[in-house]
Amino acid sequence: MALPPDAEVLYRSLFAAYPDALLLVDAAGTIAMGNPAASRLLGYSAEELAGMSVDALVPNAIRPRHAAYREAYSHEPRPRPMGTTQAELVARRRDGSHVMVEIALSPLQDHGLPYVVAAVRGIEAYPRMQQALQRARYSEFVAQMGRLAVDTRDPALLLSEVPKVAAQALQLDRAEVYLLEANQLEFRMAGGVGLGHEQCLGSKVANRPDTAPGFVLARGAALSVADYRSERDFPVPAAYFEQGLVCGMAVPLSDRGQTVGVLAVHSRRAKRFDDDEVRFLRSLSNLLAASLQRAHTEEALKHSQRLESVGQLTGGIAHDFNNLLTVIQGNLQVLEEHPAIARDDDAQQLLASAARASRRGAELTGKLLTFSRRQVLSPSRVDVAALVESLADMLRRTLDQRVRIEVDAAGSLACMADAGQLEAALLNLAINARDAMPEGGTLAFACRASGRFSPELADELGVAAHTGAAYVEIDVVDTGRGMSEAVRARAFEPFFTTKEIGRGTGLGLATVYGFVKQSHGAVQLRTAPGVGTTVTLVLPRFDASGAAPAAKSHAGAAVPRGLKVLLVEDESEVRSVVRNHLVALGCRVSDCATAEQALARLAEDTDHDLLLSDIALGPGLRGTELAREVKERLPHFAVLLMSGYSAELLATQGAGAPEPQWLRKPFGRTELAQAIARALGARDRSA
Residue 647's pLDDT band (cuts 50, 70, 90):
very low
Q: How far is CA 131 from the centre of its chain?
A: 39
Task: Identify which has the larger pLDDT, 472 or 318.
Answer: 472
pLDDT at 82: 65
pLDDT at 200: 79
pLDDT at 476: 93
Per-residue model confidence as pLDDT tens digits over 178-189: 888 876 788 888
Query: In 3D, which of 136, 147, 138 has the Cα closest to residue 165?
Result: 138
Task: State the maximum Cα–Cα separation within the chain, in Å, rounded to a whole number.
Answer: 147
Per-residue model confidence as pLDDT tens digits over 555-600: 556 788 889 999 999 888 888 888 888 988 899 999 999 989 999 8
Average pLDDT, the chain: 79
Q: Does pLDDT of 649 surpass 50?
A: no
The Cα 457–Cα 320 span in angstroms is: 34
Ramachandran class of 112: left when φ > 0, alpha when ψ lies in -120 to 50, beta otherwise: left
Share of the chain above pLDDT 90, in %: 8
Nearest 10 degrees: Cα torsion 598, 602, 606, 607 = -40
State whether residue 15 is helix, strand or coil: helix
pLDDT at 651: 46
Residue 406's pLDDT band (cuts 50, 70, 90):
very high
Q: Does pLDDT of 672 surpass 80?
A: yes
**The residue type at 158:** L
Report, as an integer, the average pLDDT of 292-317. Answer: 62
Q: Does pLDDT of 432 surpass 90?
A: no
Residue 552's pLDDT band (cuts 50, 70, 90):
very low
Q: Which of 409-418, 565-574, 643-652 has the lowest mean pLDDT?
A: 643-652
pLDDT at 652: 44
Report, as an integer, the average pLDDT of 57-68. Answer: 85
Q: Does pLDDT of 165 surpass 60?
A: yes
DSSP string, 62-74: GHHHHHHHHHHHH
**What residues does 535 pair with on adjacent strands?**
476, 525
Q: How many other C-beta atoms are found inside a 10 Å radius of the C-beta of residue 191?
A: 25
Residues ≥6 apart with Cβ < 8 Å to 49: 23, 31, 33, 34, 38, 39, 42
Q: Does pLDDT of 633 surpass 90?
A: no
pLDDT at 373: 44
Report, as an integer, the average pLDDT of 430-459. Answer: 82
State the pairing for strand pair 522-527/186-193.
unpaired
pLDDT at 443: 93
Q: Which of 61-70, 249-258, 524-533, 538-547 has the lowest mean pLDDT?
A: 538-547
Cβ contact 370:406 at 8 Å = no
Task: Identify which has the larger pLDDT, 492 or 71.
Answer: 71
Query: In 3D, which of 117, 116, 89 has the Cα closest to residue 102?
Result: 89
pLDDT at 553: 47
Residue 52's pLDDT band (cuts 50, 70, 90):
very high
Ramachandran class of 144: left when φ > 0, alpha when ψ lies in -120 to 50, beta otherwise: alpha
Query: In 3D, which of 575, 653, 581, 571 has the Cα closest to residue 617?
Result: 571
**Radius of gyration from C-alpha coordinates of the chain:** 41
Q: Which H, E and C letters describe 519-535, residue by residue?
A: CCCEEEEEECCCCCEEE
Residue 635's pLDDT band (cuts 50, 70, 90):
confident
pLDDT at 496: 59
Nearest 10 degrees: Cα torsion 665, 668, 669, 675 = -40
pTM of this prediction?
Answer: 0.42
DSSP string, 475-519: EEEE-S----HHHHHHTTSTT---SPTTS--S-HHHHHHHHHHHT
Q: Does pLDDT of 554 surpass 70?
A: no
Residue 317's pLDDT band (cuts 50, 70, 90):
low
Cβ contact 113:3 at 8 Å = no
Report, as an integer, the average pLDDT of 269-294. Answer: 83
Core vs surface per residue 156-188: b (16+ CB within 10 A) or e? eebbbbbbebbbebbebbbbbbbbbbeeeebbb
The Cα 670–Cα 355 span in angstroms is: 14
The Cα 521–Cα 503 span in angstroms is: 29
Q: Does pLDDT of 391 surpass 80?
A: yes
Query: CA distances (Å), 180 to each of 158, 187, 431, in order?
Result: 16, 4, 30
Cβ contact 574:527 at 8 Å = no
**The residue type at 219:** R
Q: What is the DSSP letter of 386?
A: H
| End-to-end CA gap in the chain | 128
The Cα 552–Cα 245 span in angstroms is: 75
Q: How many other C-beta atoms are found inside a 10 Å radius of the C-beta of residue 40?
A: 11
- Highest mean pLDDT of the ranges 72-86, 110-124, 159-173, 312-326: 159-173
> If 0-12 CB within 10 Å is exposed, 13-18 middle and 19+ buried, where does residue 423 land?
middle
Report, as an integer, the average pLDDT of 299-309. Answer: 60
Q: Which of 80-84, 261-265, 519-523 has the lowest mean pLDDT?
A: 80-84
> If 0-12 CB within 10 Å is exposed, 13-18 middle and 19+ buried, where does residue 509 land?
buried
- Highest mean pLDDT of the ranges 270-274, 322-326, 674-678: 674-678
Q: What is the DSSP letter of 663?
A: E
Q: Does pLDDT of 219 surpass 60?
A: yes
pLDDT at 455: 64
pLDDT at 503: 47
Q: Does pLDDT of 309 surpass 50?
A: yes
pLDDT at 355: 75
Residue 548's pLDDT band (cuts 50, 70, 90):
very low
Q: Does pLDDT of 407 surpass 60?
A: yes
What angle is formed at CA 333 by the lines to CA 327 and CA 334, rounded to 5 degrees?
Answer: 90
Residue 32's φ and ψ, nearest 5 degrees, are -85, -40
State whether residue 592 is helix, strand or coil: strand
pLDDT at 572: 86
